[in-house]
Each structure stands twice: as C-alpha cells, then as structure tokens.
Structure 1
Amino acid sequence: MSDLILHHYASSPFSEKVRLMLGHKGLAWKGVNIPRILPKPDVIALTGGYRRTPFLQIGADIYCDTALITDVLEHRQPEPPLYPEHQKGVARVLAQWADNSLFWAAMAYNLSPKGAAALFAGQPPEAAQAFAADRGAMRGGMVSLRPGDATAAYRSYLRRLSTMVEAQPFLLGDTPCVADFAAYHPLWFSRVVNPTMAGILDATPHVIEWLDRMAQIGHGQASKLSATEAIAIAAAAEPAPLADEAFQDEHGIALGSRVTVSAESFGQEPTEGILRAATRTRYTLERTDERAGRLHVHFPRIGFVLREVRA
C-alpha cells in the first residue's frame, strides 16, 4: 500500500486539521514541507495549479481540499471513524460550518493589526508584506470581515461550541469526529501559532478543556520527505484505478473532455486536465507533468467549479 504523503507547513491551520486526523487514525505518514507563499513550483508540478494547503499524495494520486482528504483517510482506515453512526449528516454540516464561517472569523481576528504585528514580530517588514500580498491575491473578490466584526462573531461561535462540550467530551459525543477536527484548527491557530491572541478563549473554559483533549490526540507516526522525493514517487507510480462509480453529469460535459476545476472562492487558481471521473462526491482530472509524470488530481464537488475548456 502506497505511503500517505502530506504536503503542508507547520503553521497551516488546515494542515493541523489533517495532522490530527492522521493521529486519530493511528496512521503513519510522510510530510513534505511546502512554502507558505508563491512561488511553489513543486506544488504546482503535482496539483497543476491548486495551491491551497495542505494536499495529500498517494503515489500518483493527488487529493485536494481537507473535506476530500477526510474521506480518503476514512476509506484507508475506517476505525476509529470520523463520521459517527446516525450523525453523519450532522457531523458533515457542522464541519462545513467550522471550515468556513468559524475559520474566516477566527482568521480575521488572528490577523487583525494587533495579531499580524505579533505573528510577524522579529521578521523583516518584507515578510509580512509578501504574506499579505499573497493571501490578498488568493482571496480574489472575497469580502473580508473587519476586526471588530470578526471578534464579535468569533466570541459568539466560541460560546456555541462551549455549550456543546459542557456535558460531553467532544462536540457530538464521547469520541471526536470530523466536526471536532474542523472546529479545532482555527482555535489552534489562536492558541498555538499566535498566542498573543489566545485571550479570547479565556471566557469559555469548557472550550479550553476540549482543546486540551484534542491536542492529546497527536499527529500519528510522521517522518519527513523532500519535495524532490515526493515528485519522484509520483513519477514512478501510476494513478490508482478509478472506482466503478456512476457518472453524475450536472454540466453537460462528457468524460474525456478537457476541463478546469477551481475553488469557488479562496484560492481560485485552476487545475486543467482531462475529466476522468465525476461521481456523486468528486471530480478526477488526469494531467501530465514533465517531472511528476501522469497524475490523477481529485477534488470534492462541493466548493469547487467545473468548466469545459473550449478551443
């Protein structure tokens, strides 16, 4: 069975979500440290354009977006489950809220003028400017929450989370599920990456106790890999055979068409390739890179846009 290779960097909140899920599953994985900002030539060699962090590599298969990565890990190692029996829908919806509304409120708070000053303290001014320019380009036309609005929303969301863990150890019961991992990583950023901003957590001690329980899960069995090694692994492999799932055509675009897939909002850089699968839950594009060889790049349908490339 091919190794799990996570392309990430230490302070990436969505990477922490996946690292903790890997720990929850007790999985061994290899980590490739990637740059926080462009240029990312080794990333693009594998994804074809997608540059959000993290992404998961298994041989010549590239999985983009943590919602899809969660499904891949669940298939790889079903126990302990990330989707609780009889609450799968609730867990998915709560995770989607956490990865969007909670995340953007938390990050707007964390990267307020005070937060940004603390995060980049001791670094040259060019570092903060380059990061701001990079993330500004990724945001495109997204509307940013102002610091005051973000702080108010973040406080409200923390109180709502607190009511969920007052009488039980995790958000939906006695064991963590996908919703816990999705809600954890924005708060982890406040607490661990930018602790100057962690005071907002003090008003919700039940949340702090929940954060402690989540942190104890750990990251599993991790080892390091270079980007060059990861690309060589992809080049030496062939994409795994696609599952025989029904083609779900919502666009009038036939399999075998040249298409692009891009995120709906943040990080809209497109990946172009041949559409090989469009199932109920995901798109699969085939593309070839001069260094990485023939690849299958996979995206979830929710949150991503499929377009045909016309001559």
Structure 2
Amino acid sequence: MKPFILHHYANSPFSEKVRLILGAKGMAWHSVHVPSVMPKPDVLALTGGYRRTPFMQRGADIWCDTSLIARVLDRAQPQPPLYPAGVAGITQTLAQWADFTLFWAVIPYTLQPQGLTHVMAGVPPEGLKAFAADRAPFTAGMTRQTAADATVALKAYLGRLEDQLADGRAFLCGAQPSIADFSVAHCLWFIHLAPPMLGILQPCERLRAWYERVIAVGHGTPTIMKSADAIARAASTSTHEPVQVEPGLGFEVGESVTVTPTDYGRDPVVGVLVGLSDDEVVIERRDERAGTLHVHFPRLGFQIRKEAKT
C-alpha cells in the first residue's frame, strides 16, 4: 500500500497534530506543502472547495478534517492505538474540546502583537494583510474572544490540564499517548511559535513536562512531494476505498449533495453521495486534472444538504 500524502504547511497547528500522530505511529508519508492563503488551485482540484489545512490523500481518496484523518491513520496502523481500550470515549471527548474550545482560546492569546511578530516572522506587511483578508471569511459569524478574555480562559484551561496530570500519569488519559494528547499538544505547539507568550505555561510544571514527552514522538519519515505529482497520483488511480450508503440515514446513494463544515471555513463541496454512516460522509466528484475523486468528511461537525433539483 502506498504511503499517505499529507497536504499541509509548516505553521499550521492542525497539521502539527497529524504530523505528531504520524510520528507516534512511526509511519512513512509524503509531504505536500500547500499555500497558507488563497489562491490554492491544486488544493481545490483535490478537495472541490474545502480549503482548511491539512487534508490527507491516498490515490484518488481525499480525507478532510483531522478527526477523520486520525481515525483513518489508526485503522491503517493500529499500534500504538490512538483510542486505547477503556478510555476511548474520554480521549475523543477531550480531543474534541481541545480542537475547538482550547484552540479558540490559544489563537487570540498567541496572536497578540507581541506574539504575532514571531508567528509571522519574515512575512512582509502585504503578506500579513493577505493572511488577515483570507482568514476573515473563515470565522464570519463566530464570536471571537478578545485577547483579554482568551487569556483568562486559557489560564483556566491550562490549570485544568495541569490537574489532570497530578496523579503522576505520563499522558492525559493514562500511561500511553492518545488522540487527546495530540489534540491538546498542537494547541500548545502554536504558543511555542511565539516565545514571548510562553509565560502563561510557566506555572504548569507537569504540563510542560508532558508537552516535551508528546513532542518527542517526532513526525515519522516524510518524503517531499510536489502538489502536481499528488494530482497526477490521483488522476492515475482508478480505484477507491470501499464505502457504502447505510440505510435509514435520510440520504440515498447517487444523490447530489453539498457537504459543509458547521463551525468555520464553511466552504461547501458539491458531489454525488457514495458513502454515508454515522461516522463519515463520502462524495464523488470529477476534476479535469485530478480525475474522479472520493472526498471523505467526518459526519460530526459537517452538514449534508441535498442539492435542489432544477
């Protein structure tokens, strides 16, 4: 089986989450670096409109959202498990909290002026303006915390995580790292991109030691790949991962649908429904360069709508 292809960029926190999972599992993978702002023609050729980072590819199958990517990687390489027996439920609940609640406290805290200059070091003023303009539609309709509010929230959250480690456990849910650790770690990793902002972690001695243990897993074995080669890989692949539309979920195979995130980055992707379960939705779409693709999304956090018939 050919290695997975991760489409990502260096300073993307959710990309770091997946890179750490690949490291924990000791996997070899292909690394395609994508632009951090639009235009992203090669990204859209593969995803059909989804432009959140990262996404993952193997052949002509594309997986969006790190919650789904993590499950796919865990199936492909079960050891060590991301969802250990006995704590699988709490690890996923903690991961979901980290990916949204913790993340949206970390971002406004870290991107205060003294932190922004480090996170965006080397980016010219016009690049900063382009980044701000690109991200504005991503969070349209969301209530963003002020820096002051985010600081208070983040201190509280970090204190709770510190307490989680008070019994001497090595990782958040036990002796082995789980999806919860990688979801929390990518948030703290983003703070580390801005050294002036690290003071907030100073009181959390156990959490700082935990972070070093998680980061030490590394990123596995990446091999650089050009985006054009990834597109060619998709176009030359005629088979897809097996999927089916399960009955009783309100949709039928072959229906034209849109799939859209419900939180932010709400760019709809249009396609023909080929897979649906309580965990995943899969649509088929055609691109003139990438060929026939199956684009996979998690069911939680995404809305499916039937396309209006004309």
Match of 2:284 in 1: 286
Distance 1:63 1:86 in 2: 27
After superposition, where does 1:102-113 map in structure 2 within 5 Å? 102-113=102-113
Q: Is the 8 A contact 1:239 1:295 kept in 2?
A: no
Q: Which deviates more from structure 2 when the two are superposed, residues 61-70 or residues 129-138?
A: 129-138
Partner secondary structure for residue 234 of structure 1:
helix
Distance 1:270 1:51 in 2: 10
Partner secondary structure for residue 142 of structure 1:
coil
- Corresponding letter in the other structure for 1:63: W
Q: Is the 8 A contact 1:239 1:294 kept in 2?
A: no
Match of 1:6 in 2: 6
Q: Is the 8 A contact 1:14 1:185 kept in 2?
A: yes
Partner secondary structure for residue 272 of structure 1:
strand
- Corresponding letter in the other structure for 1:110: T
Using the TM superposition, give the Cα deviation of residue 122 of structure 1 relative to its aligned residue in structure 2, in angstroms. Answer: 4.5
Q: Is the 8 A contact 1:3 1:59 kept in 2?
A: no
Using the TM superposition, give the Cα deviation of residue 121 of structure 1 relative to its aligned residue in structure 2, in angstroms. Answer: 4.5
Match of 2:180 in 1: 179
Using the TM superposition, give the Cα deviation of residue 114 of structure 1 relative to its aligned residue in structure 2, in angstroms. Answer: 2.9
Partner secondary structure for residue 95 of structure 2:
helix
Partner secondary structure for residue 6 of structure 1:
strand
Match of 1:269 in 2: 267
Match of 2:128 in 1: 128
Distance 2:154 2:13 in 1: 16
Match of 1:65 in 2: 65
What per-residue deviation string (whole Å, max 9, x for no partner) do you get for residues 95-151 of structure 1?
A: 000000000000110112332234334432111111111111111211110000001
Using the TM superposition, give the Cα deviation of residue 30 of structure 1 relative to its aligned residue in structure 2, in angstroms. Answer: 0.5
Q: Is the 8 A contact 2:256 2:272 kept in 1?
A: yes
Partner secondary structure for residue 7 of structure 1:
strand
Match of 1:143 in 2: 143
What per-residue deviation string (whole Å, max 9, x for no partner) do you get for residues 58-104 of structure 1?
A: 11000000000011001101111000101111111110000000000
After superposition, where does 1:82-97 map in structure 2 within 5 Å? 82-97=82-97
After superposition, where does 1:8-47 map in structure 2 within 5 Å? 8-47=8-47
**Matched residue count:** 308
Whether 1:295 aligns to 2:296 is no
Gaps of 5+ in 2: none
Whether 1:254 aligns to 2:252 is yes
Q: Which deviates more from structure 2 when the two are superposed, residues 108-117 or residues 229-238?
A: 108-117
Gaps of 5+ in 1: none
Partner secondary structure for residue 14 of structure 1:
helix
Partner secondary structure for residue 197 of structure 2:
helix
What per-residue deviation string (whole Å, max 9, x for no partner) do you get for residues 275-308 of structure 1?
A: 1111120000000000000000000010101111
Q: Structure 1 122/286 Cα, relative in aligned 2: closer, same or farther at 3 Å?
A: closer
Distance 1:282 1:247 in 2: 14
Distance 1:238 1:205 in 2: 52
Q: Is the 8 A contact 2:63 2:296 kept in 1?
A: yes
Moved over 4 A (4+): none
Match of 1:116 in 2: 116
Distance 2:200 2:45 in 1: 40
Using the TM superposition, give the Cα deviation of residue 237 of structure 1 relative to its aligned residue in structure 2, in angstroms. Answer: 0.5
- Corresponding letter in the other structure for 2:255: S
The normalised TM-score by structure 1 is 0.96
Partner secondary structure for residue 10 of structure 1:
coil
Distance 1:64 1:248 in 2: 24
Q: Structure 1 175/3 Cα, relative in aligned 2: closer, same or farther at 3 Å?
A: same
Distance 2:238 2:110 in 1: 41
Distance 2:112 2:141 in 1: 19
What per-residue deviation string (whole Å, max 9, x for no partner) do you get for residues 236-258 of structure 1?
A: 00242424573351xx3322111
Q: Is the 8 A contact 1:60 1:237 kept in 2?
A: yes
Match of 1:309 in 2: 307
Identity between Structure 1 and Structure 2 (%): 48
Distance 2:50 2:25 in 1: 26
Partner secondary structure for residue 203 of structure 1:
coil
Partner secondary structure for residue 50 of structure 1:
coil
Match of 1:196 in 2: 196
Distance 1:241 1:55 in 2: 16
The normalised TM-score by structure 2 is 0.96
Distance 2:146 2:181 in 1: 26
Distance 1:295 1:112 in 2: 40
Using the TM superposition, give the Cα deviation of residue 198 of structure 1 relative to its aligned residue in structure 2, in angstroms. Answer: 1.4
Partner secondary structure for residue 202 of structure 2:
helix
Using the TM superposition, give the Cα deviation of residue 215 of structure 1 relative to its aligned residue in structure 2, in angstroms. Answer: 1.1
- Corresponding letter in the other structure for 1:272: V
Q: Is the 8 A contact 1:248 1:278 kept in 2?
A: no
